[in-house]
Amino acid sequence: MVHQDASRCLKCKNALCQKHCPVSTDIPKIIELYLNGENLKAQKLLFDNNPFSAICSIVCDHQRQCFGNCVLNFKKVPIHFYEIEQELSIPYLKEVHFTKNKITKEKIAIVGGGPAGISCALLLSDQGYDVTIYEANDKLGGVLTYGIPDFRLSKDLVYQYARILKEKGVKIRLNCHIGHTISLAELKEDYDGIILAVGAGDAKMMHIPNETRYNVHYAIDYLKAPESFDLGKKVIVLGGGNVAMDACRMANRQGYDTYVYYRKTFEDMPANKNEVEEAINEGIKFKTFEVPIAIDDTGMVFAKGENILDENGRKKTKIIENTEHHVDCDSIIVAVSQTLHIDFPELKLNKWNFYETNQGHMTSMDKIFVCGDAYLGAKTVVSAVEDAKEVVREVINSFNG
Ligand SMILES: Cc1cc2nc3c(=O)[nH]c(=O)nc-3n(C[C@H](O)[C@H](O)[C@H](O)COP(=O)(O)OP(=O)(O)OC[C@H]3O[C@@H](n4cnc5c(N)ncnc54)[C@H](O)[C@@H]3O)c2cc1C
């Protein structure tokens, strides 16, 4: 089936699928190799361009990227490139083995072992740098390990990276939160360069009355250990992104009567389209144009909202007057975005409370760079990989003067 699908590819010269892939995967070339039976070449090409190809084939927003932009959409029969990528990249990730890279260059510390940190480590190690990853948790993977649930992404795949990194000679120090015992200054003494790939791991508060109540939880905390929560019977999840979709699908699986309340429309939801569809199919109830106003003893107060355009043409929510209404529930899970946790107050911050950088990724301290969600704000796996490629270029340039 997948092969048959691939054979319909028009091999467009100016391929829109590739153009809309944040890591510019050479989709026509991959499909050509796949159809010629040159799978190993295709697999290597995919991995070398994006070491998270296997993961991206599962968690990327294909509807807004390769699949949704295939020219065959106009005939309503786009190529399911992500299925081809899954067939190629998943077995490759599990089975490929590497030999140790020879160290010929400077020592680099990478703080954070999520997609951004791992991508930086692989790229730098391949170029001869002496790389060590410091990870606060007991496993690598970042959000892939401690956020995205198993029913969406098998941890089997994520755990392959520890093996691959070790095979290549990257050193890994787990359970080591830089900024606690070891300071950034100490790390700087021992390394020629540091990349902070620390993610955006703090939930954003809504700052509405009673948000500190015992039955209000943040989705990223809940998703780390859902079994440790007792949410009562009825749960309201607030938000419309991937985190909200994971939280509501998890709560629904745990048997809670689950609702999602979102301030705009379905079309405005930043979550992957297929995640929203899955949530609806699983029976989760959605309410749109609902703006959270306050939390009280028996649930929440919402007001109805509407979409308006601000002076810059950006869509905003306007609260409609006199539409406040109360909704009963036992627990509330807030999933309205994440932000950077400041572990390194010695670095200057910008107006968004992220580390200030020069035109690129270098922070206010020489040879200390920042990348991934910690640089971009809460984004996606594929954007973390693309950002890692950029920061690696900058780090290497900084050594080459
Ligand atoms: C629930 C959820 C669902 C998501 N779903 C999707 C999806 O479907 N598709 C998609 O593309 N993206 C999704 N994302 C976003 C995606 O996972 C992130 O954009 C991506 O993981 C960012 O990678 P990163 O390496 O920058 O950060 P992270 O993955 O957050 O990794 C940062 C790592 O740094 C470590 N760390 C932090 N501070 C320190 C310190 N001081 N010392 C040592 N280690 C430290 C953390 O423990 C963590 O392991 C989702 C995010 C969440 C939370």
Q: What residues does each domain of the chain span?
A: 2-95, 107-201+340-399, 203-337
CATH entry 3.40.50.970 includes domain 203-337: no
Q: CB burial class (10 A; 0-12, 13-18, 19+) of residue 354? A: buried
**CA separation for the pair 138, 152 (Å, rounded):** 21
**CA separation for the pair 102, 306 (Å, rounded):** 59
The pLDDT value given to residue 313: 87
Task: Give yes or no for residue 197 CB within 6 A of ligand 1.
Answer: yes
Pocket test for ligand 1, best of 123, 139, 182, 381 (most atoms within 8 A of CB): 381
- The answer to whether 128 and 212 have CB atoms below 8 angstroms apart is no
Question: Same fold for the domain at 107-201+340-399 and the one at 203-337?
Answer: yes
Topology, domain 2-95: Fumarate Reductase Iron-sulfur Protein; Chain B, domain 2 (1.10.1060)
Q: How far is the CA of 137 from the centre of ligand 1 (A)?
A: 12
**Minimal-distance CA residue to ligand 1 atom 2:** 243
Q: How far is the CA of 32 from the centre of ligand 1 (A)?
A: 33
We find that the CATH architecture of domain 107-201+340-399 is 3-Layer(bba) Sandwich (3.50)
Mean pLDDT of all residues in 159-180: 98
Helix (H) or strand (E) holding 17: helix 16-19
The pLDDT value given to residue 401: 75
Q: How far is the CA of 110 from the centre of ligand 1 (A)?
A: 14
Identify the residue whose tokens are 């920061």: 391
pLDDT of 212 strictly over 80: yes
**CA separation for the pair 194, 205 (Å, rounded):** 30
Reported as a pLDDT band with limits 50, 70 and 90, residue 167 is very high
pLDDT of 304 strictly over 90: yes
Question: What pTM did the predictor assign?
Answer: 0.96
Task: Give yes or no for residue 246 CB within 6 A of ligand 1.
Answer: yes
The pLDDT value given to residue 13: 87
Strands 331-334, 193-196: pairing is: unpaired
Task: Give yes or no for residue 33 CB within 6 A of ligand 1.
Answer: no
pLDDT of 400 strictly over 90: no
Mean pLDDT of all residues in 326-331: 98
Q: Which two tokens mark 161?
A: 């990276």
Q: CB burial class (10 A; 0-12, 13-18, 19+) of residue 49? A: middle
Reported as a pLDDT band with limits 50, 70 and 90, residue 267 is very high
- Cβ partners under 8 Å of residue 167, min gap 6: 97, 98, 99, 100
Task: Give yes or no for residue 30 CB within 6 A of ligand 1.
Answer: no
**Minimal-distance CA residue to ligand 1 atom 20:** 381
